[in-house]
Structure 1
Amino acid sequence: MLILPAVFVPVVLLGYLSYDKSRDQMESVTAGFLQDNLLLNAKQLNTFFKSIENETDKMIASRPLQILLGEEPPKTYAQEAVFINRMIDIVSQLRGSYELYVFPKDMEYYPNYKKLINLNQIEPRPEYFDLAFEQQNKGLWFHSWDNNLHKPIFIYVRAIRSSYYYEPLGVLAIQIPDFFLREELASPSAFENYMFMIVDKDNRIISHPTASRYSREYVPDDGWSKAETQITEEGWKLIAAVPNKDLTGQINQIKDFTFWIVVVSLIVMVCLLYFIVHTFTGPIKKLVLHMNKVRTGALAKFQFSPDRKDEIGQLVRGYNQMISGMSDLLDTTRTMEADKRRLELQTLNHQINPHFFYNTLDAIKWRAEKAKENNIAAMVTKLANLLRFSLNNGNEWTTVEREIEHARNYLEIELLRSNRAFQVFYQVDPEITKRKVIKLILQPLMENAVKHGVNHLPEGKGRIRLTAKLKGGSILFIIEDNGPGMPAPSSQVMDHSADQDQPRGIGLKNVHKRLQLHFGGDYGIRVDRSGSSGFRVMVTHPLVEDEKIVQ
């Protein structure tokens, strides 16, 4: 691979230096030529503008014009008609090769005269008067678009002042079509695409061979050589431009010649190096690309010919052996982690599910009924239901409906056991009653509500509310009571760092940990104390695909 750069780089550098030097010389000559031609044409335009300004010197010094503009404005239509006739005579005598317009200072007193004159785009507005009156002994150039000619026009505006008191009397305007200016420009006959354009101070085109380019922003084209110079005090610039292809014909030939030298050299070198690349560099490159896939977890062996006995073959065989060892290690690790998780879940489940014998409970129930202790019989029946639900034939899953029924059995036992009356309210979304959830997530929370909540209230004052609903993509259980509450922060997620602020007992911690082991850190128990009294616990459980659940 080192041979290719050793030949390719010198050839490319030689061609580039040859082309670059020729291009620099041509650009230098072109820049000088454009600048000289530009200055010559700028001088022609300045002479043209100066001739217009000199012509206005005689116009503004016209005594009849000053007398007419110095008179009081007409008060009647007849007086205005006399003014119009006199103004037409004066303008006819003063005008030269271009259209001339005269505006009295107080134009609002000449409504009929204003309708008579028709200066294309410049109306006798106060701002033009103010700009013209601010100038001392000169005027201002404006540009606009002529809707009749469909070309740009240029307008020279100058104030008319009294020769004696130098007070402003009015404004004159000379309108010049664009083609008059362009006739003053002379382009070299040797360049067919040579062109001139004029841009204003905002770099917008005001004169261009293509009239439709008027008022567009001028953006230099990389394929053109250009030169520019300022031509008016308003910031107008004259730009001369010529396509580079008209100037670099010989340079392009040199470039093409150099290109083919490089191409031929490359073809020769490729033919010479193909065998080396095919037999050595290619396999290594494929191996490197295959090794990069290992970062994404794709532990696959590299396929190659087992007959290779050279260094490449030894390298690939060592790599494949390493991949086999890594795959075996990962499989062992996955198995150990799965076993560890399963054992941990079983341990947590066993902490929550006490094992009693159903026959003992049946005997207690029978004796209670025989002794006509109906409350005791009811308690034993409900306790048996609790135990049957806890064991559930070893199945850890149940439905929302059965989980709520399990919590209801527990509360009814508490009501019978303690003889303390409290109210229980249920609000369950019917859409979720058949949804699949892990079992024993509500009973520990109900136990907490009874033990730390309603048991601390007077008889009949306790209230427990269970709400079950859909929220986003999860099932949300809310258990709240009106007890004294707990000295916990306003919102806290159950974790090991906050055990001192949580209800005592292993039940709630195990429920929270079981949820997180099953579904991740986004799910579990959150304690919320929104007021000075009462306690509120929220359980977030994901929606799980429906599967057959052992009843």
Structure 2
Amino acid sequence: MRKLFAFKNKLFSKIFLLMSISVFVPLGLLGLLSYDKSKNQLESVTSQLLQDNLQLNAKQINSFFKNVENEADKMVASRELRNLLGEDIPSSYSHEVEFINRMVDVVIQLKGTYELYIFPKNIASYPNYWNLIKLSKVGPDSEYFQRAYQLQRKGIWIHVWDDHLNKPIFIYIRAIFTNNQKPLGIIALQIPDSIIRKELASPSSFKNYMFVMVDDQNLVISHPSAAAYMKTYVPEESWYKAEMPLSEVGWKLIAAVPQKDVSGSIDKIKTFTVWIVAGSLCLIVAFLTLIVRSFTIPVKNLVRQMAGVRIGRLIPYHLVKSREDEVGQLIRGYNQMILGMLELLHTTKEMESEKRQLELQTLNHQINPHFFYNTLDSIKWRAESVQENKIAAMVTKLANLLRFSLNNGEEWTTVEREIEHARNYLDIEHLRSNRTFQVYVQVDPEILKMKVMKLMLQPLVENAIKHGVSHLSDGKGKIRLTAKRREQDIIFIVEDNGPGIHVPLALNLNETTDNDSPRGIGLSNVHKRLQLHFGNDYGLLIDSTQTSGFRVVVRHPLSHPYSD
């Protein structure tokens, strides 16, 4: 592996690195985003589930309380109970025993699901009866009884600790009045906490789902663990929690579930996904290595062969088996080139020495520019085959520049092609210097096909780069190219935001241009060509009013549309 990824093996390393990044980074980001999205979605769903379940259970508890209150209202409305409590206080033990027996019958008749206690208004006058109906921590002198009498037709809910059950209990206290609003007594319905908790329904998918009831001071009044009674409720950080007020003033119902119960499935999925992704990446690395080596090894051997060409070893490259892909085409092209070179050398050696110079001159005159273009295309193709996109782009732009410059000696072109030529040059400068600058082009569509003199704008934008934006920090340079019609002329404007010039620039044919002065040579050349073709009314005009940057205006006569 050290040899495989050695520094000298640049092509393999670059291709492998690029392909690995193009696969690993998206795959890793996709896994991370998917997990994060799933986690957030699960948390959102859990929160909504808690809220919905809590709302349902709060409604159930409120309904339970309401049913108890309705049952108490029916008891209070009992005529037998009112008549019994409205009788005179027993004057003897036997009368009190008779009262107790009758009260037992009434309690048996009225008693429903819960324990029922009935207290006459003057309970102290019923000592034997009072000894029979001791209610947990609640008595006639309790403030709750006084509040119940004050509320009249509305009862109150309280909670106390029952030492016998060793659990909290809930008591509903309701006052009994005559039709004339005379107080007769109190009824109390005692309900164990366990009965109320049976009304709560938790989702079966969460094992540790928990309900807690707290009072207006955030003290626990109902909890799965009785030991938490009357302790301040402090939610744990690792739990999801939701709360909702109950119909009883100040009481709240809280639902909570551990985060690990929610994220446990996600953690398992994450672990499984990590292993799957890791295994997949290992397979991808193996396949990438095989694929990249199938391309880079022949190219590497071909480069070794080409190194031998530099020292005169013209030996064709022999593939173990023929390949029809681009690598095979490259090797066949190389072999054809070597065979052609060998043939040329053989032919050259047979030539007479006195004719060599003449034949070389003849060959030089017979060079076809298209061979040069084809060679550039070959370089571009080879650069693309090793993913050197920057070299390929530069070669393409250079071929376009040369093709435009030669063009069979044609001196004329169109506005559209002239601007395209300038853009190609700017693109090459972008790629060559690795410096970034902004280019703005604005062209009047009406003049795109108009005939103009060739190679006017490229020297101007070259000056704008060399003497303008190249002196600015990277990314700060700006070049603006404008082409428009003004009456019977075509106006080109090239401007940059460089440091400008601080000396006059001579552009008149009768004046001499200093070759060392900035921006002078290319501008003077274009200016003279325009004046030679069209007269002194045309040429270049430098804007001397610029305080910063540089602006040159080209005036060219309007002509007929260009036809090839």
| TM-score exceeds 0.5 | no
Q: TM-score, normalised by structure 2?
A: 0.41
